[in-house]
Structure 1
Amino acid sequence: MTLTIMKPGLFTTVQDRGRTGWQRFGVSVGGAVDELSLRLANILVGNPDDAAALEMTLSGAEMVTEEEVVAAVCGADMHARVDGDPLPMWRPVTIPKGCTITFGTASEGYHTVVAFRGGISVPQVLGSRSTAVRNGFGGLEGRTLRAGDRLEIVSNMPRRRTNPEEKGDIDRYHAGAWFLGAEWRTPGMAKLGNGAAEVRVMQGCEWERFTGESRDRFLLQPFVMLAESDRMGARFSGPPIHLESRTDMLSEAVTMGTVQVPPDGRPIVLMADRQTTGGYPRIAQVASVDLPVIAQMRPGERARFRLISTQEAEALWIARERKLEVLRLLVNLVESD
């Protein structure tokens, strides 16, 4: 099964959950920025969590289906359409052969994931199909997609379709009548009453080396995402954060969600294409369950950091994984019905 890219969008790549086990050699994990949306889209179409999918940033692509495909769109709302008609999000949809799928500019959120049943087939590099654009490998020739690219889908057995007698727009494409509710929809997760995104964090390795005033500022004041943010790191401006005293640091291991503070005092939350080690002090570590919140923030939006314990972060992660497992079981039940 093949998709043909007619327009690539602003920054469209093939991504899965990344390449693990290579950081000791200086190879970044990479993978989808909003891993939750990737996993949800794959679950909806019956794929393994780590199947390769399309990730689009801010402005989406246009593509043509050369065969019937089953797809799910999760993450930012880019107003997807099939031959001009709205394409439902957060549910599995069977799209006929020869249709044109278009994505516009995101009205909320920043990254959109499109999973196809069977997964996108590109060569594995170091155990992953993710595109590492900075390194020039993985995905499709290690680059963003271009007009004229053709993507192979591993397999595409159609899912059970909805009752043809049902009415409504979703039936034009045989969309699932069920869908994921607001609690799963990452662009709007954990928003506070003032519109800021709440991001839960744990104390970083150098937490105690920052001034008490800086620690208070970090937790009590909102920070604004800057336009310089990218897949490597989300950069924020706000009240300056400083150490008690400047001392040289050896480069040490970092991971997705590590909050580093460079000399200018503006925090950086490391993201999917982060470096493997860093020499800036680490004031905090974002809880894994809130990484999708950072991934979907747009430049100009605000975040408020809230301190929690490691035990709380672990409990939140376990609860989310249990919900994902229940969702996977329910989708399998619907599929076998």
Structure 2
Amino acid sequence: MSVEVIKPGLLTSLQDAGRRGYAHLGLGRAGAVDEPAWRLANALVGNAGDEAALEITLAGPTLRFQQDAIVALTGALIEARVEGQPLPAWSTCFLPAGSVLRLGGMRHGCRSYLAVRGGFDGALVLGSRSTDLHAGVGPLHGKAVKAGDVLAIGEHASVPWFHAGPGMQALRWGLDPQPWLDYAREPLALMRGHHADALDDASQHALFTQRFMVSKDSNRTGNRLDGAPLRLRQPLELISEATLPGTLQLPPSGQPILLLAEAPVTGGYPRIGQLAAVDLPRLAQRRPGDTVSFRETTLDEALQRLGERDTSLRRLLQRIEQRLESA
């Protein structure tokens, strides 16, 4: 089974949970930027949970399914049509062989996830099918999908959810995206970083009071934040230190950079903050021109919120599995 890419969209890449455990070799994690949305898309098609899906940024691809397929679309709300018929988001859908799925622009958010039953079967590189665009590592030679690419679909068992027919079908139930989308754009929780005290007094205050804007120069490596420049009390001579997704760095321009999934494993800029991991998906859905503000948090609060989110996600994944079994 395979899917032909007719149009690639603005930026579409294969992503799974990422390749963890290689930072000592200088290789970052990559993987889905909005991990809950990726997991829920896989759950809706009955995958085991770690299969690769397509991560779609701002404007989606056009795809031709060469065989019958079961798909689900989560994350940012995106225009999606199959032969002129709207494809329901956050639901489980059947596409007959020959279907052309056209994904357009996003009404809200920055990234959507398209999962297919069996997963997209790209080449495993260091145990992952994620594409690290910054490092050029992963399937498709570490590049985004392009027109003419043919994406294989993994083997999977048949299911009784749909009866093969000539048109698109969808289950009568789906998920409420509201809890997983950041409509209010509330402040993101930020812990003070190792070099936060090196900011001058005005900048320490501004870090948690001003509103920044996501720059058009943002990507999967990090979101550049435009606003009144933050300043250090005096220049710092630093050696490179460890960084990870969520690290807030301050380059000489004074415009901070908040690292995302393709964060480098080390960096030489001052580390003035660390975003709570639970808010990384919210950051991932901020698009160029959206505002970002921060509130101060502690490690204990960040861990508590992450645990509560993971418990809710786990329960929802179990509920989806139960409903599919009874479909």
TM-score, length-normalised on structure 1? 0.91
Q: How far does residue 201 in structure 1 lie from its aligned partner after superposition?
A: 1.1
User: Quick check: 1:70–1:156 contact (8 Å CA) kept in 2?
Assistant: no
Q: 1:71 to 1:80 in 2, by over 3 A?
A: same
User: What's the CA shift string for 1:215-271, capped at 9, x where partnerless?
Assistant: 110111110111111111100111221222212011100010100111111110001
- Mapped to 2, the partners of 1:78 and 1:178 lie a distance apart of 19
More strand by percentage: 2
User: Quick check: 2:134–2:221 contact (8 Å CA) kept in 1?
Assistant: no
Consecutive unaligned residues of structure 1, counting only runs of 5 or more, are 165-171
Aligned to 1:309: 298
Aligned to 2:174: 179
Q: How far does residue 152 in structure 1 lie from its aligned partner after superposition?
A: 1.1
Aligned to 1:318: 307
- Mapped to 2, the partners of 1:162 and 1:301 lie a distance apart of 40
User: Quick check: 2:57–2:110 contact (8 Å CA) kept in 1?
Assistant: yes
- Mapped to 1, the partners of 2:47 and 2:163 lie a distance apart of 23
Q: How far does residue 162 in structure 1 lie from its aligned partner after superposition?
A: 6.8
Aligned to 1:284: 273
User: What's the RMSD between the two structures over aligned residues?
Assistant: 1.9
Aligned to 2:194: 205
Aligned pair partner of 2:206 in 199, 217, 228: 217
- Matched residues, number: 325
Q: How far does residue 197 in structure 1 lie from its aligned partner after superposition?
A: 4.1
Aligned pair partner of 1:232 in 210, 221, 241: 221
- Mapped to 2, the partners of 1:24 and 1:40 lie a distance apart of 31
User: Quick check: 1:76–1:187 contact (8 Å CA) kept in 2?
Assistant: no
- Mapped to 1, the partners of 2:276 and 2:134 lie a distance apart of 26
Q: Provide the secondary structure at the position in 2 that maps to 1:175.
A: strand
Matched AA of 2:83 = D
**1:258 has 2:247 as partner:** yes
User: Quick check: 1:70–1:158 contact (8 Å CA) kept in 2?
Assistant: no
User: Quick check: 1:15–1:139 contact (8 Å CA) kept in 2?
Assistant: no
- Structure 2 matches for 1:160-175, cutoff 5 A? 160-161=160-161, 173-175=168-170
Q: 1:255 to 1:299 in 2, by over 3 A?
A: same
Q: Provide the secondary structure at the position in 2 that maps to 1:289.
A: helix
Quote the sequence identity (%): 37
TM-score, length-normalised on structure 2? 0.94
**1:329 has 2:322 as partner:** no
- Mapped to 2, the partners of 1:314 and 1:187 lie a distance apart of 20
Aligned to 2:110: 110
Matched AA of 2:131 = T
Q: Provide the secondary structure at the position in 2 that maps to 1:329.
A: helix
- Mapped to 2, the partners of 1:187 and 1:44 lie a distance apart of 21
User: Quick check: 2:80–2:102 contact (8 Å CA) kept in 1?
Assistant: yes
Q: How far does residue 137 in structure 1 lie from its aligned partner after superposition?
A: 2.7
Aligned to 1:295: 284
- Mapped to 1, the partners of 2:190 and 2:159 lie a distance apart of 40
Matched AA of 1:177 = R
Q: 1:197 to 1:163 in 2, by over 3 A?
A: farther
- Mapped to 2, the partners of 1:152 and 1:289 lie a distance apart of 32
**1:25 has 2:25 as partner:** yes
Matched AA of 1:272 = A
- Mapped to 2, the partners of 1:310 and 1:98 lie a distance apart of 50
Matched AA of 1:104 = G
Aligned to 1:144: 144
Q: Provide the secondary structure at the position in 2 that maps to 1:241.
A: coil
Aligned to 1:11: 11
Aligned to 1:168: none
Q: Provide the secondary structure at the position in 2 that maps to 1:248.
A: coil
- Mapped to 2, the partners of 1:205 and 1:160 lie a distance apart of 54
- Mapped to 2, the partners of 1:328 and 1:247 lie a distance apart of 47
User: Quick check: 1:14–1:131 contact (8 Å CA) kept in 2?
Assistant: yes
- Structure 2 matches for 1:61-76, cutoff 5 A? 61-76=61-76
Aligned pair partner of 1:267 in 226, 239, 256: 256
- Mapped to 2, the partners of 1:203 and 1:54 lie a distance apart of 34
